Amino acid sequence: MKTVRIIGAGLAGSEAAWQIARRGHRVSLSEMRPSVGTKAHSTGLCAELVCSNSFRGAALHNAVGLLKEELKLWDSLIMKCALESEVPAGGALAVDRVVFSELVDSTLRQHPNISFQEEEISAIEGYSAEEPLIVASGPLSSPKLSSAIESLTGDGNLAFFDAISPIIYDESIDTSVCFRQSRYDKGEGDDYLNVPLSKDEYYDFVAEVKAAEKYTGNIAVESDSLEKLRPFEGCMPIEDMIERGDDTLLFGPFKPVGLRDPRTNSRPYAVLQLRQDDREGKLWSMVGMQTRMKRADQDRIFRKLPGLGAADFVRYGSVHRNTFIESPRLLDATLQYRGHAGLFFAGQITGTEGYVESTAGGLLAGLNASLLLEDKPLIELPEETALGALMRYISDPERKDFQPMNISFGLMNSYLNSPNRDEKGKKIGKKDRRLAAAAVALEKTKQISASHMPTTC
Ligand SMILES: Cc1cc2nc3c(=O)[nH]c(=O)nc-3n(C[C@H](O)[C@H](O)[C@H](O)COP(=O)(O)OP(=O)(O)OC[C@H]3O[C@@H](n4cnc5c(N)ncnc54)[C@H](O)[C@@H]3O)c2cc1C
């Protein structure tokens, strides 16, 4: 029997181990806890939930609800244990965290194909197509392993924190106010959407940001690591910039030079630029708007900006400790490292944000490592599925300024390109369009998962 080695028995590593073992292959699972800990974990159990006990929304018109349904069709261990340990949480899937991790832990420890090693791995080596290795060491990968990963990826391809700007849907931007133009007409001349602000609007924005409620860390992050983020000028949160003076943003993300508002044919007092975030131009990121403001305040304050009154957020701004690689440059949508047969990365370290998304990556890496051992072609999942769309997002070589991403219907072309009017011209609501895209995704997942069911258990 051939063996796959996995580094990390978190959500991704546990799911990968299960997918490989149930296909009849051997797994050697290395986990450093409890002898070597992290700042967030407190047990030695597999798949410990480090913060919230929620796997988020369960409804199918919610992208994470769809992703969970797809995972169930793939016989996900994490989903099975989550359902067995479910606690009431309205429309969300929340679990008793101890029962959940104990279930995952005992299932994996009792599996005859899985052996556990309690050890801290500090090198990425010894992998091949015959002996694959999955790196699933998570956002808190140990420093020794992080430096081994950095040696592999090269300088600048491993990040230690997220400083994320919000992304909004194009259809929610008022283009009678926001104008297309590149600074000094560079590039195609109209690559950016620009939000023009008057003097009063700019200083109102600054005052609102100052008064807004902020997270001290986005998700249970240690406050000292936020202090360490301050030197990274390029990714500084807006509130930190404002601390240096009310005008600072005018020389950074609100710089108006080289831009003219076609309505007035003059340079606005301040301009916030929106940059296209997907090939189709359906998603736009707010350049330089990384922030620790609470989501309700982001909603309120960003929607006060001209032309953004109806802004629909795909992702909010945030800052938190997170180790992740520059996946678009390094990984295929199979999660195999480009040019390195047998080396896979999975989970949050690939830039997929969240418990469910991390599990999804573990599932795909486990499946593809198994296919490699079976001498079968690796699979890239169709982009009409939530899992396929997420993997396509993180592995798109055209992607610039990569930052971790949650699953969202905004990543799925099947949703973005779906008509918003029926044959009679009647508007089709967002929820119905999402449900239609979800039905396609589940049908595709059913077909592909059925053709990749294990022959041995
Ligand atoms: C502080 C914090 C809070 C978060 N809160 C949430 C939340 O509330 N909801 C949400 O959806 N997402 C949250 N996330 C994001 C993310 O979904 C979780 O971190 C998730 O656990 C990631 O899954 P993973 O399998 O990639 O990593 P993990 O679950 O962290 O698993 C990685 C495993 O690798 C082990 N490991 C690390 N280095 C080594 C090594 N050198 N050798 C051997 N083992 C090693 C670790 O001990 C760990 O068990 C949070 C992240 C952080 C950092």
Q: DSSP readout, 403-418?
A: --B---GGG-HHHHTS
Distance between CA 111 and CA 101 in Å, rounded?
16
Condensed to tens digits (0 to 9), the pLDDT of residues 435-450 reads: 999 999 999 999 999 9
How high does pLDDT run on average in the chain?
A: 91
Q: What is the pLDDT of residue 222?
A: 39
DSSP 3-state assignment of 278? coil
Distance between CA 28 and CA 31 in Å, rounded?
10
Nearest 5°: the CA angle 449, 132, 147 is 120
What is the distance in A from the centroid of ligand 1 to the CA of 34?
Answer: 14
261, 267 contact by CB (below 8 A): yes
17, 114 contact by CB (below 8 A): yes
> 110: exposed, middle or buried (C-beta count within 10 Å: 0-12, 13-18, 19+)?
exposed
DSSP 3-state assignment of 262? coil
pTM comes to 0.82
245-264 residues labelled b (16+ CB within 10 A) or e (exposed) = eeebbbebbbbbeebbbeee
Assess whether pLDDT exceeds 80 at residue 218. no
Residues with CB under 6 A from ligand 1: 7-13, 30-33, 38, 40-41, 50-52, 120-121, 136-142, 145, 219-221, 321, 347-349, 354-355, 358
Q: What is the pLDDT of residue 220?
A: 34
* Look-up of token digits 């629909």: 312
Mutate to test the pocket of ligand 1, among 53, 108, 348 (most ligand atoms within 8 A of CB): 348
Condensed to tens digits (0 to 9), the pLDDT of residues 178-216 reads: 999 988 877 667 888 999 999 999 999 999 999 999 886
Residue 391 backbone dihedrals phi, psi, to 5 degrees:
-65, -35
Mutate to test the pocket of ligand 1, among 19, 51, 353 (most ligand atoms within 8 A of CB): 51
Distance between CA 181 and CA 64 in Å, rounded?
35
Condensed to tens digits (0 to 9), the pLDDT of residues 68-92 reads: 999 999 999 999 999 999 988 777 8
Distance between CA 296 and CA 212 in Å, rounded?
9
Identify the residue with better confidence: 253 or 223: 253
Q: Of all protein residues, whose CA lies closest to atom 38 belonging to ligand 1? A: 141
379, 328 contact by CB (below 8 A): no
Distance between CA 29 and CA 13 in Å, rounded?
8
What is the distance in A from the centroid of ligand 1 to the CA of 261?
Answer: 45
Task: Sketch out the chain's domains with CATH numbers.
Answer: 3-157+326-451 (3.50.50.60), 164-317 (2.40.30.260)
Q: Which distant-in-sequence residues (6+ apart) come within 8 Å of 424 by Cβ?
A: none
